[in-house]
């Protein structure tokens, strides 16, 4: 069934700048943003994170990509047998709904893994805090011609963070242009 409803998934695999770009470029991912999650401190900020971890969050179209597909990419993009000591950069996979929890369990079983047997944390998402504006679309922000174009179009920081086209350009700015390469070759 076709619908315009998006779903949301949240993961941490180290400094959030790179994965926001990588996953934002993927076909079926509509929006991407970065933030802090996994801890208990209220109102974390980049320089006072407390026990939170840098995470990226994607909004995706379940008709074109599934949470399971995203899990596969997340597990290809980090080593689940390792964990970083610093909480800020830990590998963590969140399930936000019962359906995501079921998909996650199925995925781990299919890989011959268990939540307890891997370094990656496997958790229920309780709360996601948005990171500061200057961390959102970090790679895109380093390309002044892109930023000039968004400014000319009247985008403010919230618009840029939530923009589907900015999610793609952020990926291309970081060299994640797989979707473009595929289109050009067909």
Give the catalytic positions in this structure.
15
Answer yes or no whether residue 17 interacts with ligand MHO by CB under 6 A: yes
> Total binding residues for ligand MHO by CB under 6 A?
5
DSSP bridge pairs for 121: 92
Q: Which residues, at least 6 apart from 47, have a Cβ–Cβ distance to it below 8 Å?
A: none
Can you tell me the distance from the alpha carbon of 182 to that of 186, in angstroms, rounded to the nearest whole number?
Answer: 7
Contact range with ligand MHO by CB under 6 A, out of 13-21, 100-108, 156-164, 175-183: 13-21
Can you tell me the distance from the alpha carbon of 172 to that of 140, in angstroms, rounded to the nearest whole number?
Answer: 8
Between 117 and 175, CB nearer to ligand MHO: 175
The CB-of-53 to ligand MHO minimum distance in angstroms stands at: 10
> Per-residue string for binding with ligand MHO, 53-72, x by CB under 6 A?
-x------------------
The CB-of-103 to ligand MHO minimum distance in angstroms stands at: 28
The CB-of-100 to ligand MHO minimum distance in angstroms stands at: 25
Residue 74 falls in which region: left (phi positive, over 0), alpha (psi -120 to 50) or beta: alpha
Q: Which string of DSSP letters, residue by residue, matches 60-115? A: E-TTT--HHHHHHHHHHSS-TT---SSGGG-EEEEE-SHHHHHHHHHHHHHTT--G
Which residues from 77-136 bind ligand MHO, rule CB under 6 A? 135
Answer yes or no whether residue 20 interacts with ligand MHO by CB under 6 A: no
Contacts to ligand MHO by CB under 6 A: 15-17, 54, 135
């Amino acid at each position: 069934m076709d619908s315009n409803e998006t779903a949301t998934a949240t993961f941490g695999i180290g400094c959030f700048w790179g994965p926001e770009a990588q996953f934002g470029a993927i076909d079926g991912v509509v929006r991407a943003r970065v933030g802090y999650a996994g801890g208990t401190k209220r109102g974390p900020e980049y320089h006072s994170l407390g026990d939170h971890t840098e995470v990226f969050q994607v909004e995706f179209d379940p008709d074109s990509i599934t949470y399971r597909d995203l899990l596969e990419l997340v597990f290809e993009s980090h080593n689940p047998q390792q964990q970083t000591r610093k909480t800020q950069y830990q590998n963590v996979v969140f399930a936000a709904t019962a359906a995501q929890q079921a998909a996650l369990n199925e995925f781990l079983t299919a890989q011959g893994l268990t939540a307890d047997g891997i370094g990656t944390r496997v958790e229920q998402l309780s709360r996601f805090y948005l990171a500061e504006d200057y961390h959102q679309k970090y790679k895109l922000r380093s390309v002044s011609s892109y930023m000039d174009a968004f400014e000319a179009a009247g985008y403010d920081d919230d618009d840029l963070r939530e923009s589907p086209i900015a999610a793609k350009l952020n990926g291309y700015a970081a060299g994640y242009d797989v979707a473009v390469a595929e289109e050009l070759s067909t």
